[in-house]
Amino acid sequence: MPAPQGPSRAEPFACLTVEEAAAALRVDISDVIEAIRGGALPGNELRGHWRINSADLETWLKGAWRQ
């Protein structure tokens, strides 16, 4: 008989740096930062470094992101 399983843990979300997001979008890093600061692209700043959730970036690219 299999051992009981503990609570399932959600998969961690993929987090992109500004550089990685810029490379994926094929734009300058400054364009990504400007889009985040302007509220057009979802992102979070952590200790002076921006992070973008890859699922949010994909949603944003599809045009489904709404503030």
Which pLDDT score, from 0 to 100, does residue 36 have? 93
Tokens of residue 10, six digits = 């959600």
Which pLDDT score, from 0 to 100, does residue 60 have? 86
Which pLDDT score, from 0 to 100, does residue 44 have? 92
Which pLDDT score, from 0 to 100, does residue 16 have? 95
Per residue in 26-66, pLDDT (tens digit) is: 999 999 999 999 998 999 998 999 999 999 898 888 886 55
Task: Give the Cα separation of 63 and 1 in Å (integer).
Answer: 48
Residues 52, 15: contact at Cβ < 8 Å? yes
Which pLDDT score, from 0 to 100, does residue 7 have? 52
Name the DSSP letter for residue 21.
H
Task: Give the Cα separation of 7 and 57 in Å (integer).
Answer: 29
**Could you tell me which residues are beta bridge partners of residue 46?**
49
Which pLDDT score, from 0 to 100, does residue 63 have? 83
